[in-house]
Amino acid sequence: MKGSARVKRLLRGVRPEPAPSLETPEERAAAFASAGQVLAPPIEGAKGIFLVNGTRLRFYTPLADEIRSGYAAVLIHFWEIGPERLAQYRAAAGLVDAVVSPNAEYDARLAFAPIYRSTGMDLLVDDTLWPLLGLPRDIEIADSTSVPWALKRPLHWLSETQAHLDRSGGRAVYLTKREPGEKEDAACHRDWERFREAVERDDRIELRIRSTLEDVVRLLNRTKYLFHPSNSEFAPRAVIEALYCGAVGVAGPFDWVGSVSTRREVRDRVLVRERLTDLPVHEVVDIRRWQSARALREGLVDFLTEHGHRVNPSFGVFSMFSSKRIEG
């Protein structure tokens, strides 16, 4: 399932953003931070590993030579790889050392560089920051989402969640890192106001804005089902976080369901449902038996070494949370 017609109209109306200014050290540092994530820093005698954000090639391209002098550059994905994105990728093919791909279907589109089997998000989300805590599962439904408001579908989440609570009882929590702002259209603002007003009238449902990492970890450890009906197109971070915390994902037949993990066992923890019906009894499963950030990152080091890159094999705690890096 592709994004909604409204989203496509919005995207068609957006002009390409200009290349960033790189005249000052501060501007170059800001462009570097926007271009991707440092998975491992350079050390004496070895390069670091830089994960290039495929949606931000305009920041990466003018810095590519500088970045690659100190890092092996690996292209990762945040959104759908459609024709326009793929054209951008191919134009930048000579500027990356490898690209991640979740499955054979994507391999055919990404054959312009050595392919490492990964979704990209499985490298970014550090499972050690999303532990299983053994808490009682007293929250029926939750969502934790930072995708653009045009993709969130909060009213669909609300109507399905209310219907589920009518049938099963219990409570639900909706997490978002921000309210709609200047970038959102009038329809997004109207949906948000309707959503807030309805939640205020329903004491079974809690709305949380701008939660801490600790709060989100505890909430996901108390949640049975993460209902994520967003039209996001590639491996939403929030779903991976929830799976690590023992919740079951529920989503419509979106393309991203097939790219949420390279492992079938993990993908099976995401139920394809447009509505919250016919849900199985929740069971806590530790998906680390099939997938962990450390194993994937170590595998990437081995992969780059096999392809002639001497890279730093050491990396610290690293995860994406509310668009910020967490180090420890």
Q: Is residue 64 part of a domain?
A: yes
Q: Is residue 4 part of a domain?
A: no
> Are 269 and 166 in a shared domain?
yes
Token duo for residue 27:
């501007």
Distance CA 63, CA 56 (A): 12
Residue 39 sits in which domain range?
10-124+292-327
Token duo for residue 217:
């970890």
Which one is predicted more confidently, 9 or 136? 136
> Are 117 and 170 in a shared domain?
no
Q: Is residue 2 part of a domain?
A: no
Q: Which residues pair with 319 in a beta bridge?
A: 326
- Looking at residue 252, its pLDDT comes to 87
pLDDT band at 148 (very low <50, low <70, confident <90, very high): low
Number of domains in the chain: 2
- Looking at residue 73, its pLDDT comes to 98
Whether 204 shows a pLDDT value over 80: the answer reads yes
> Are 145 and 254 in a shared domain?
yes
- Looking at residue 184, its pLDDT comes to 82
> Are 278 and 210 in a shared domain?
yes
Of the candidate ranges 8-22, 38-52, 150-164, the one whose mean pLDDT is the lowest: 8-22
The residue type at 249: G
Q: Is residue 297 part of a domain?
A: yes
Distance CA 271, CA 276 (A): 10
- Looking at residue 2, its pLDDT comes to 43
> Are 109 and 182 in a shared domain?
no
> Are 153 and 230 in a shared domain?
yes
The SS3 of residue 201 is helix
Question: For residue 143, what is the domain's CATH number?
Answer: 3.40.50.2000
Q: Is residue 1 part of a domain?
A: no
- Looking at residue 306, its pLDDT comes to 98
Whether 220 shows a pLDDT value over 90: the answer reads yes
Of the candidate ranges 22-31, 196-205, 253-262, 286-295, the one whose mean pLDDT is the lowest: 253-262
Is residue 132 classed exposed, middle or buried when 0-12, 13-18 and 19+ CB atoms within 10 A define those classes?
middle
Q: Is residue 74 part of a domain?
A: yes
pLDDT band at 144 (very low <50, low <70, confident <90, very high): confident
Whether 176 shows a pLDDT value over 70: the answer reads yes
Residues whose CB is less than 8 angstroms from the CB of residue 6 and which lie 6 or more positions away in sequence, other chains included: 150, 187
> Are 204 and 66 in a shared domain?
no
Torsion of CA 152, 155, 158, 159, to 10 degrees: -130
Which one is predicted more confidently, 219 or 4? 219
Q: Phi and psi of 201, rounded to 5°?
A: -85, -10
Residues whose CB is less than 8 angstroms from the CB of residue 136 and which lie 6 or more positions away in sequence, other chains included: 222
pTM of the entire structure?
0.88
DSSP per-residue string spanning 47-96: BEEEEEETT-HHHHGGGHHHHHTTEEEEEE-SS---HHHHHHHHHTGGG-
Torsion of CA 146, 152, 156, 159, to 10 degrees: 30
> Are 48 and 145 in a shared domain?
no
pLDDT band at 257 (very low <50, low <70, confident <90, very high): confident
- Looking at residue 235, its pLDDT comes to 60
Whether 160 shows a pLDDT value over 50: the answer reads yes
Q: Is residue 3 part of a domain?
A: no
> Are 194 and 302 in a shared domain?
no
Question: For residue 70, what is the domain's CATH number?
Answer: 3.40.50
Which one is predicted more confidently, 184 or 56? 56
> Are 208 and 223 in a shared domain?
yes
Chain-wide mean pLDDT for the chain? Answer: 88
The SS3 of residue 39 is strand
Whether 326 shows a pLDDT value over 60: the answer reads no
Q: Cβ distance 102 to 235 under 8 Å? A: yes
Distance CA 58, CA 226 (A): 34
pLDDT band at 234 (very low <50, low <70, confident <90, very high): low
Could you read off the pLDDT of 86-125 as tens digits, one per residue? Answer: 999 999 999 999 999 999 989 999 999 999 999 998 999 9
> Are 305 and 320 in a shared domain?
yes
Q: Which residues pair with 47 in a beta bridge?
A: 311
- Looking at residue 149, its pLDDT comes to 67
> Are 139 and 14 in a shared domain?
no
- Looking at residue 7, its pLDDT comes to 45
Q: Is residue 225 part of a domain?
A: yes
Distance CA 32, CA 21 (A): 12
Q: Which residues pair with 8 in a beta bridge?
A: none
pLDDT band at 153 (very low <50, low <70, confident <90, very high): confident
